[in-house]
Structure 1
C-alpha cells in the first residue's frame, strides 16, 4: 500500500513536473512571442519616425527648393538691376547646392524598390532640368533675354511639371507606407494586448491551481516558475515602458511637425496674398506705363510739329534777311541817284561860274562901248544877278543833296546794322529753339523706348506673379496633404501611448500576481498579502 501510495505520489509529482514544464514552456513561448511582437511594434514605430515622416518632410523640402528655383528664374528674367541679378544668381547657386544635399538625404531613406524606381525617374528629370537651368543662366549672363525666356517657358516648364509629378508619386508612396506601418503597429499592439489579457492570466491561474492541488514538495519548482514569470512580467513592463516612451517621442515629434506645418501654411498664405497684391500692382503699373507711352508718343508728334514750324520760321527769317538786303541795295541805288544829282549840280555851278564870268566880260565890253553899251550892260548885270541866284540855289541844292545823301547813308547803315543784329539774334534764338526741340524730341523718343521696355517688363512681371500664385496654391495643397498625414500620425501616436499605458497597467497586475505567487510559495510575511 505504501508502495502504491509512493508510486501514486511519484506519478502525481511527475505529472505536476510535466505540467509545470509545459506551463513553463508555454509561458516562455508566450514571452518570446510577446517580445517578438514588441520588437515588431518598435520596428514599425521606428520605421514611421525614422523613414516615412523624414521622407515626407524631405519631399516637401525638395518641392519647396524646386519651386524656389523656378521663382528665382522668373525673377532673373524680369530684373534689370545688376546688383539684384548678382544676388539672384547667388541665391540660385545656393538653392542648387541645397538640392544636392536633399536629394542625397532622401536617397538614403529609400527602403523599397518602387520608391527607388520613382526616385531614379525623378533624379533623371532633375539632371535634365539642371542642365536646362544652366543654359538659361548662361543666356541671361550673355544678354540673350529672349533665348532664356524660351528655355524657361518651353523646355524647363515641361521638366518642372514632370518633376512635380514624380514628387507627387513619391509622396503617395510615403503616405501609403506610413499608413501601412501604422496599421501594422496597431494590429500588433492589439494582438499583444490580447495575448497579455488572455494567455498570461490563464497561465497564472493554471499555476495557482497546480500549487493549490499539490503539496509543498514542488514549491521550489513553482518558485522557479514564479521567478520566470516575474522575469517575463519585468520584460513585458520594460517593453511597455519603452513603447510608451517611443509613443511619447512620436507624439511630441508629430506635434512639432503639426505646429511647423501650421506655421508654414500661415506663411504660405501670406506669401500667396502678397503675390496676388504684387500681381494687381503689376497690372496697374502696366496700365500706367501704357498711358505714359501714349502721352509720350503724342508729345513726340507735337514736338515734331514744333520742329517743322521752327524750321519754317528759320526759312522765313532767311527770306526776310534777303528782302532786307534787297532794300539795302535799293537805298544804295537812291544814294547813287543823289550822288548823280550832286554831280549835275556841280555842272550847274560851273555854268553859273561861267555865266558870271561872261557877265563880267560883257560889263567890261559895255563900259568900253559907252552909251551904246548901256543896254547891254543892264542885260549883263541881270545875267550876273541871275547867275548869282542860280549859284545860290545850286549851292543850297548841293548842300541838301549832301545832307540827304549822308542821312540816307546813315539810315541805310543803321537799318542794315539793326536788322542784321535782329536777324542774327532771331536766327540764334531759332537755332536754340531748334536744338532744344531736337533734344526734347530725342528725350521723348527715349521715354517712348523706355516706356515700351517697361511695358514688356510689366508683362513679364504679371506672368511671373501668375506662376508664383499657382506655385503657392500647389504648396498649400501639398501642405494640406502633409497636415492630414501628420494628423493621422498624431492619432497613431496617441493610440500607441494609450495602448502602452494599458499594457503597463496589465504588466503591473501581472507583477502583483507574481508577488502573490511568491508569497504563497515561500510563505513569507515580508510581502503584504493581496486581495484578488
Structure 2
C-alpha cells in the first residue's frame, strides 16, 4: 500500500467505505423485507387463521349447548314455537361454521394445516349427521333413544371435533409464534450487523484521516517542485511560441508557392486533356476516312468489274456486227436468186407464149412468179439497205464504245491506284495519330502523377500549417497554463499549509 498513489489510496478508502455502507444498506433492506415477510405472514395467514378457528370453536360450543337445550325442551315437551326458534338458531350457528370453514381455506399454507382441517371436516360431518339423527328421534317421540344416541355418539363426536379444532388452532398459534420469532431474529441480526458495520466504518475513517495526514507533507514538497517547474515551463513555452511564429510564416510562404505551382499544373493538365480529346477526335476521323477509303476501293473494284462487263458487251456487239455481215452475204445470195427467178419467169413467159392456148395458165403462173420475184428483190434490196445502214451504225457505236471503254478502264485503273495509295496514306496517318494518342495519354498520366504529387505536397503543407498553428496555439496555451499552474500551486499551498 505504501507504493500506491495518493489518489489510489483515497479512492480505495472512499470506495471501501461506500461499498461497506452500500452493502449494509442492501443487507438492511433485505433483512427488513425478510422481517416484513414474516410480519406479513403472521398478519395475513397465521393470526387470521387463529381468529377464524376461535370463531369456529365458539360457534361449535354454541351448537353443542343449543343441541342439548333442544333435546331437553323436546323431552319436557316445551313450547313448540320456542323449540323451532332454537332449531333455527342451531341452523344459523351451523351456517356460520360453514362460512368460517370456507374462509379458513385460504389461510391453509402447510400440509399439516390441511390434514388437520380435513380431520375437522370429517368430524364436523359426523356431528351434523348425529345432530340430525338425535333431532329426528326426539321429534318423533323417541326421547330415550335420542338421549342414548346423544350420549353415545353425538357427545364423543363433539369432543373429537373440538380436539380437531384445537389441534388446528395450536398449529396456527405455533406458526404465528415461530413467524414472530423469526422476524425478531432477523431484526436482532440486522441491528448487530449495522453495529459491526458502523465500527468498521469508524476504523476506516481513522485510516483515511491517517493517509491524508501522511500525504499532506508529500504534497507540500511536490508543490514546491511544481512552482519551479511552472516557471521553467513558462520560459520554454515563450521560446516555443517565438519559434512557432517564425515557422508559421515560412510554412505560409511555402503553401502559397505550392498553391501557385498546383494551379499551373492544373492548367497544363487541362491543355493535355484538350490535346488528348483532339487526338482522339483525329483518330476517329482517320478511322472513318480509312473506312471510307476502303469502301471507295471496293466501289472502284466494282467499277472495274463493270467496265470489264461493258467490254464484254462490246465484244458481243462485235459479234452482232459479224452476224449482220453474214446476213448481208445471205441477202446477196437472195438477190442473186431473185434475179435468176425473174430470168426464169421471163423464159417461162416466152415459152408459154409459144405454147399458145395451152400455155396461158403457165403464163399466168410465170407472171405471178415474176411479180413475187420483183417483190422479193425489192424487199431484199430494202433489207440490204437496212443491213448496210445498221452495219455502219453498229460499227460507229462499236468504235465509240471501244474508245470510251478503253478510256473508262484506264481512268478506273488510275482511280483504283489512287484509292489504294489514299487508303495506305490514311492507314499511315491513323498509325501516326495512334502513336500521338499513346504519347498524349502517357503525357496525361505523367501530368496527373505530377498533379497528384503536388496535391500531396499541398496537403502536407496544409497539414504542416495546421500543425504549426496548433503548435503556436499550444505554445500560447502552455504559457497561459503555466501561469495558471503557478497560481493553482500557490492556492493549493495556501490550502494545505495555510498562510
When the two structures are superposed, what TM-score results if normalisation uses the length of structure 2? 0.39
When the two structures are superposed, what TM-score results if normalisation uses the length of structure 1? 0.37
Structure with higher RCO (Cα < 8 A, 6+ apart) = 1
Bigger CA radius of gyration = 2
